[in-house]
Structure 1
Amino acid sequence: MNLELLHLEHKEKSLEKRYITNAHIEPILDKLKSSFEINVVGKSVLGKPIYSIIAGKGKTKILLWSQMHGNESTTTKALFDMLNWLQSDTKEAKAIRDHFTLCILPILNPDGAKLYTRENANKIDLNRDAVAQSQPESKVLREVFNTFKPDFCYNMHDQRTIFGLETDGRPKPATVSFLAPAYNEERAINNHRQKAINLIVAMNDTLQNYIPEQVGRFDDSFNINCVGDYFQAAGVPTVLFEAGHYQQDYEREVTRKFIFFALLSGFHSINENVIVVSKNDEYFNIPQNKNVFYDIIYKNVNINYENKEKIAIFASQYKEVLFENYVMFQAFIKEINNLDIAVGHAEYDCKGDRYVGKNGENFPDFDTEANFFIGSDRKFINGVEVE
């Protein structure tokens, strides 16, 4: 399959950028009713519907859910791209429909999606509520899990731009990361976790053709309160997807494509039964995510520190702020004069010129907006140099 061409043909163009809510997906669900079964499986804290999509009629059942954290929408976009492909007349799509039954919860946390927050309306992280089951959204997911009885679970998330992978050269962004969650404190590998490991290796093999050295492995510390760990412990092979940063792709429009690639290659690998051989070495050779990036770094800056001039380095990081149904990226100064600052997604060499803040100060203040001058003529607005 030409994955690039498939995504270009089937990308859901009505879903774009970072802010995705029920209001955005409901018109698409209306169109998908002719191909798939659409249900309301429950309600959120604020009474918003939680939708499910049943696609296919095959024996192998996969439960997929996205936006458990409301502000993590990249995988939601990729799921609808995949559904557009799945309803096509190609022999590959028909084979998946014949061999799989997919149960998809595209937005598990509609209140958090509307507010653009990680938590639900009760300010609870649903991914720490697997045991307590204190929230209606958690109960909906558990009920679907118990009723659907999946053979695999896909727990789909976004990860921050800070995560990268150390390579032989310059660190690279962790554009897509995976995890086969642990099922016990010892992080042992049983048959169920082994299947998840082998599946991840198969998806990684595909992604290396497109984003070499930009696929990571998430930390596998065990926490039974996390949904993935809980379902793995319940005996269902579970894979965590983390959609991360691609170079300058803050809207995650490129990353969604690679999640689409991973989904299709994973279905193919399960269908062709190529995930039966132990792939532990290959899995643990996938580099682990590390906190190595800032969004922007400014090097060789002249600052005045304790009445002494010195050449320093500082960094800024974007905060995602919802404004009139649009997510804005606002840069704030986050790290100052720390030589351990590793690498930025963007970097500026200030060439020894002086930092000048908006009030004329010569030292950047922590957690203030990144609007300043370097020297007399280099102007930075929202962290970026402007003409």
Structure 2
Amino acid sequence: MNLITLENWYSRYREESLFGRYINLDHIGPLLETLAHKIDIKEIALSENNEPIHLVTLGSGPKKLLLWSQMHGNESTTTKALFDLINLLNDTNNEVTKNVLQQCTLFIVPILSPDGARAYTRHNYNNVDLNRDAQNLTQKESKVLNSLIKEIKPDYGFNLHGQRTIFSAGETNNPATVSFLSPAGDQERSITESRKIAMEVIGKMNVVLQQCIPNQVGRYDDGFNINCVGDTLENIGIPTILFEAGHYPNDYNRETTREYIFYSLIASIHYIAQNDITGEGYEDYFLIPENGKCYHDVIIRDVILEGKNVDIAVQYTEELGENNVNFIPKIVKIEDLGKFYGHREIIGKKRVMRNEIVTVEIVPEVKLLKFYLDSELFSIELAKR
């Protein structure tokens, strides 16, 4: 698919009302109300804390795709990209849209865990990870998704997530801005026919992304866990694609990554619409490097601390503030970090770091990690929200 076309579409169809990391029903509710006048949107269930869960249905084609986002409430980048996609598919004058909607029916759950989204947490209201509840089905949200799978009998599952800033595309100095996975369906991680189909689609998305983020696409670990939704779907033969929205340099709001997820969604859905996929092209999937864990948010290199020459790793922790997410810097390692990379690096040049490394509160919810190298003051500030 032509990259210039995708860039133009993103500029045109990007949902401007959604921005940043904190996305919950208060943000998407007005959009759903407006869209309900044009497309099929239903409230299909309530969460454990009685927040509505919605299903958006687009198209009338025979190929059925089930997409769900914010199974983990603090993984919101893919939700933003879904609304960008919905805006595109709502344009009936677009020839690609017409083709997709003739060949496919899309069933979209924008936020599966509305309680987790409101609290900005991985877990739901009962502190359960919904992506470990695929077999026991103890939570209302898990039962909703399971019911949709049984009712729709999707030909493809799109499992939309976000990943931490620690991940690299292989053991390299390239962040894993977008990662994919065709989940395993058994302990042996067998390359089944349904996995091959998902792998072929992922390979096509990677071709598109290499044009704009070369060497920044990763392949997520396929260790088997039947309690995970993707593994459960593959276990019953449904081709499933796990999307992981990762870090792009200086993009803690994940707005740049959002654009690449949008490209990936369009590329995959258009490929499915245009082709009867057999999985014959699955081997390109293995050209994507498996994710490494080579990054910290900040590395302070080559400093003298208490008489020792060390590196210091700083990682941001995410804390919900007043309708936004704050990223608070915390020291996580003091050692030789020669095998790691920082999204930001401060080179100490063997200067002495004073012992008083403290987190200093400047104003409510804004903090700086302040330190001295010899007499020079450095601050690692709150990351952009």
**TM-score (normalizing by structure 1):** 0.92
- How far apart are residue 377 of structure 1 and its match? 2.3
- Opposite residue 39 of structure 1, the aligned amino acid is K
Q: Distance in 2 between matches of 1:194 and 1:28?
A: 36
Q: Rate the CA distance shift 1:383–1:103 in 2: closer, same or farther, 3 A.
A: closer
Which of 115, 133, 140 is the aligned partner of 1:136?
Answer: 140
1:25 alignment counterpart: 28
- How far apart are residue 348 of structure 1 and its match? 0.8
Q: Rate the CA distance shift 1:383–1:43 in 2: closer, same or farther, 3 A.
A: closer
2:151 alignment counterpart: 147
1:321 alignment counterpart: 319
- How far apart are residue 12 of structure 1 and its match? 0.4
The 5 Å alignment of 1:228-267 reads 228-267=230-269
1:11 aligns with 2:10: no
- How far apart are residue 359 of structure 1 and its match? 7.0
The 5 Å alignment of 1:119-268 reads 119-166=123-170, 171-268=173-270
Secondary structure of the equivalent of 2:154? coil
Q: Distance in 2 between matches of 1:201 and 1:78?
A: 20
Q: Distance in 2 between matches of 1:68 and 1:339?
A: 34
Q: Is 234-243 or 270-279 further displaced after alignment? A: 270-279
1:37 aligns with 2:40: yes
2:295 alignment counterpart: 293
1:338 alignment counterpart: 336
Q: Is 210-219 or 337-346 further displaced after alignment? A: 337-346
- How far apart are residue 73 of structure 1 and its match? 0.1
- How far apart are residue 162 of structure 1 and its match? 0.1
Kindly report structure 1 stretches of 4+ aligned residues shifted beyond 6 Å: none
Which of 24, 47, 63 is the aligned partner of 2:66?
Answer: 63
Q: Is 275-284 or 146-155 further displaced after alignment? A: 275-284
Q: Distance in 1 between matches of 2:296 and 2:276?
A: 38
Q: Distance in 2 between matches of 1:7 and 1:359?
A: 43
- How far apart are residue 311 of structure 1 and its match? 2.0
Q: Distance in 1 between matches of 2:86 and 2:37?
A: 12
Q: Distance in 1 between matches of 2:304 and 2:195?
A: 52
- How far apart are residue 231 of structure 1 and its match? 0.8
Contact 1:202 1:275 in 2 (8 A): no
Contact 2:133 2:228 in 1 (8 A): yes
- How far apart are residue 273 of structure 1 and its match? 1.0
- Please list every run of 5 or more consecutive structure 2 residues that lacks an aligned counterpart in the other structure: 359-366
2:278 alignment counterpart: 276
Q: Distance in 2 between matches of 1:17 and 1:52?
A: 23
Once the two structures are superposed, residues 244-288 of structure 1 have per-residue CA deviations (whole angstroms, 9 ceiling, x without a partner) of 001111100000100110111111211221743523431112100
Secondary structure of the equivalent of 1:370? strand
- How far apart are residue 351 of structure 1 and its match? 1.7
- How far apart are residue 79 of structure 1 and its match? 0.2
Q: Rate the CA distance shift 1:297–1:287 in 2: closer, same or farther, 3 A.
A: same
2:309 alignment counterpart: 311
Contact 2:305 2:355 in 1 (8 A): no
Q: Rate the CA distance shift 1:382–1:356 in 2: closer, same or farther, 3 A.
A: farther
- How far apart are residue 356 of structure 1 and its match? 2.1
- How far apart are residue 350 of structure 1 and its match? 1.3
Q: Is 158-167 or 8-17 further displaced after alignment? A: 158-167
Contact 2:116 2:125 in 1 (8 A): yes
Q: Distance in 1 between matches of 2:343 and 2:266?
A: 29
Secondary structure of the equivalent of 1:124? coil
Secondary structure of the equivalent of 2:255? coil
- Opposite residue 236 of structure 1, the aligned amino acid is I
Contact 2:184 2:195 in 1 (8 A): yes
- Opposite residue 75 of structure 2, the aligned amino acid is E
Contact 2:71 2:112 in 1 (8 A): yes
Secondary structure of the equivalent of 2:351? coil
Q: Distance in 2 between matches of 1:87 and 1:66?
A: 19
Q: Distance in 2 between matches of 1:383 and 1:74?
A: 20
Secondary structure of the equivalent of 1:137? helix
Q: Rate the CA distance shift 1:37–1:165 in 2: closer, same or farther, 3 A.
A: same
Q: Distance in 2 between matches of 1:242 and 1:119?
A: 17
- How far apart are residue 125 of structure 1 and its match? 0.3
Once the two structures are superposed, residues 321-376 of structure 1 have per-residue CA deviations (whole angstroms, 9 ceiling, x without a partner) of 1011110111000110234551101101112222124479xxxxxxx973222221
Contact 1:356 1:374 in 2 (8 A): yes
The count of aligned residue pairs is 371
- Please list every run of 5 or more consecutive structure 1 residues that lacks an aligned counterpart in the other structure: 361-367
Give the alignment's Cα RMSD to 1 decimal.
Answer: 1.7
Q: Distance in 2 between matches of 1:24 and 1:236?
A: 32
Contact 1:180 1:239 in 2 (8 A): yes
- How far apart are residue 29 of structure 1 and its match? 0.5
**TM-score (normalizing by structure 2):** 0.93
